[in-house]
C-alpha cells in the first residue's frame, strides 16, 4: 500500500521532469526479470513513466549507471544510491548539476525469496543524504539504527572464514561489476604488465583479487551490499571491507558518501599522518 503511494508520487515527479526536458533519461526500476522482482529501468519518455515501480524488491544499485553517462539524468536514489552519487561527486566522477536526484527513504530490500538483501539489516543510513526531490517513508523513523557488532574474530578465525568464503568464488567478477567504486577503466586484475593474475585460478589468485579490491575500496565503501547481493555463488567478502571502512571511520573520521563537500580520506595528504594503516606505521594506543 505504502509502496503504491510512493510509486505514484515518484511517477508524478518523473513525469514532470521528463516533460520539462531537464533530463534526457531517468534511471529507476520497473517490474520484470524473474516474477515479482523489480529491475533497473531507463525511462526516456513521459509515457515510460507508467512502467516505473518502487517497492521492497528494488534490490539493485542503479547509481553506477550514471557513471560515464554523458547526458543530464534523473535518478531514483535510495539512501545507498544517494551515497554512491555523493561519493561520485567527491571523487569528481560526476557533476552535481548533471544529476537530478529523486531521493527516497528505504526500510531495506528483500530478494526473490523474501530474504533481506545483504547489507540492508545492518544499514544505518535510511534517508538519502542528498536529493533534489524527496519521497518520504514514515516507517524509517522507527527503525533501529544502532551500529552492527564487529565480526572481527581474531587473525586465525578471520583467515579461516576468508578461506571458506573464497572457496566458493568462481572469479566471475560480478562483485566488481556491481560495485559502484570499481570504475577503473582497466581493473588491476586484468592488467598484463605487471601480470597480477597467475594462470591457475587458485586460492592465491582469489585472495589477490579480493584483497586488492578491498584495499581499493578503503574509505570508499558505502555498504550498499551489492558485492554480496550480486554474487551468485554466495560469497561474502563484504565483512572484510566493513572492517576497513570502520578503520577509516575511527582513524580519519570519514564516512563515505555522506557529504558532497567533504574530501575523501584517501585524497587527503597530511604530513603529520601517523600512517597507522601501513606496516611499520604508528600503531593504535
Stretch that binds another protein, among 39-47, 70-78, 240-248, 259-267 (CB under 8 A): 39-47
Q: Write down the least CB distance from residue 170 to another protein, Å.
A: 6
Stretch that binds another protein, among 57-65, 94-102, 260-268, 272-280 (CB under 8 A): 57-65
Q: Write down the least CB distance from residue 255 to another protein, Å.
A: 25
Stretch that binds another protein, among 29-37, 138-146, 155-163, 247-255 (CB under 8 A): 29-37
Q: Where are the alpha helices (DSSP H) in the chain?
A: 2-19, 79-90, 155-168, 174-178, 203-216, 226-230, 238-252
Give me the 134-163 binding string for another protein, x by CB under 8 A, dash otherwise: ------------------------------
Q: Write down the least CB distance from residue 35 to another protein, Å.
A: 5
Told to check if 45 binds another protein by CB under 8 A, we report no
For residues 172-202, one letter each, b for 16 or more C-beta atoms within 10 angstroms of the residue's C-beta and e for the rest, the string is: ebbbbebbbbbeeeebebeeeeeeebeeeee
Told to check if 60 binds another protein by CB under 8 A, we report yes
In 3D space, the residue among 152, 164, 45, 59 whose CA is nearest the CA of residue 111 turns out to be: 59
The alpha carbon of 247 is separated from its chain's Cα centroid by a whole number of angstroms, namely 18
Distances (CA, A) of 17 to 201, 267, 273: 48, 35, 46
Q: Write down the least CB distance from residue 278 to another protein, Å.
A: 31
Binding residue (CB under 8 A) for another protein from 11, 23, 41, 76? 41
Binding residue (CB under 8 A) for another protein from 3, 7, 24, 42? 42
Binding residue (CB under 8 A) for another protein from 33, 116, 212, 260? 33
Told to check if 39 binds another protein by CB under 8 A, we report yes
Tell me which residue has cell 571502512: 245
Q: Write down the least CB distance from residue 184 to another protein, Å.
A: 11
Binding residue (CB under 8 A) for another protein from 1, 21, 35, 253? 35
Residue placing its CB nearer to another protein in the complex, 190 or 275:
190
Beta-carbon contacts of 212 under 8 Å, excluding residues fewer than 6 positions away, are 188, 189, 196
Site residues (CB under 8 A) for another protein, limited to 175-214: 176-178, 190, 198-202
Q: Nine-digit cell at 201?
A: 585460478
State the CB neighbour count (10 A cutoff) for residue 20: 10
The secondary structure of 81-101 as a DSSP string is HHHHHHHHHHTTSS-GGGEEE
Q: Write down the least CB distance from residue 183 to another protein, Å.
A: 12
- Residues 206, 223, 262, CA angle at the centre, nearest 5°? 115
In 3D space, the residue among 44, 60, 52, 74 whose CA is nearest the CA of residue 3 turns out to be: 52
Which residues contact another protein (rule: CB under 8 A)?
A: 32-37, 39-42, 59-60, 64-65, 112, 164, 168, 170-174, 176-178, 190, 198-202, 226, 229-230, 232-234
Amino acid at each position: 500500500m505504502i509502496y503504491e503511494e510512493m510509486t505514484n508520487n515518484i511517477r508524478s515527479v518523473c513525469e514532470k521532469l521528463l516533460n520539462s526536458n531537464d533530463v534526457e533519461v531517468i534511471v529507476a526500476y520497473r517490474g520484470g526479470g524473474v516474477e515479482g522482482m523489480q529491475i533497473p529501468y531507463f525511462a526516456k519518455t513521459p509515457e515510460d513513466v507508467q512502467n516505473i515501480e518502487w517497492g521492497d524488491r528494488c534490490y539493485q544499485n542503479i547509481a553506477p549507471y550514471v557513471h560515464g553517462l554523458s547526458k543530464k539524468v534523473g535518478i531514483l536514489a535510495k539512501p545507498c544510491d544517494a551515497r554512491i552519487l555523493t561519493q561520485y561527486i567527491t571523487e569528481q566522477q560526476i557533476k552535481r548539476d548533471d544529476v537530478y536526484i529523486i531521493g527516497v527513504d528505504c526500510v531495506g530490500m528483500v530478494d526473490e525469496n523474501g530474504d533481506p538483501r545483504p547489507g540492508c539489516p545492518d544499514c544505518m543510513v535510511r534517508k538519502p543524504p542528498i536529493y533534489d526531490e524527496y519521497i518520504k517513508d514514515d516507517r524509517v523513523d522507527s527503525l533501529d539504527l544502532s551500529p552492527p557488532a564487529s565480526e572481527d574474530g581474531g587473525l586465525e578465525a578471520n583467515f579461516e572464514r576468508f578461506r571458506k568464503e573464497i572457496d566458493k568464488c568462481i572469479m566471475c567478477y560480478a562483485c566488481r561489476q556491481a560495485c559502484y567504486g570499481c570504475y577503473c577503466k582497466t581493473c588491476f586484475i586484468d592488467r598484463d604488465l605487471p601480470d597480477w593474475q597467475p594462470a591457475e585460478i587458485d586460492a592465491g589468485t582469489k585472495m589477490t583479487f579480493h584483497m586488492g579490491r578491498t584495499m581499493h575500496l578503503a574509505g570508499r565503501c558505502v555498504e550498499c551490499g551489492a558485492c554480496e547481493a550480486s554474487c551468485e555463488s554466495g560469497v561474502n567478502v563484504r565483512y572484510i571491507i566493513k572492517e576497513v571502512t570502520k578503520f577509516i571511520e575511527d582513524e580519519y573520521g570519514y564516512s563515505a558518501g555522506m557529504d558532497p563537500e567533504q574530501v575523501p580520506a584517501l585524497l587527503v595528504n597530511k604530513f603529520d599522518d601517523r600512517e597507522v594503516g601501513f606496516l611499520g606505521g604508528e600503531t593504535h594506543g
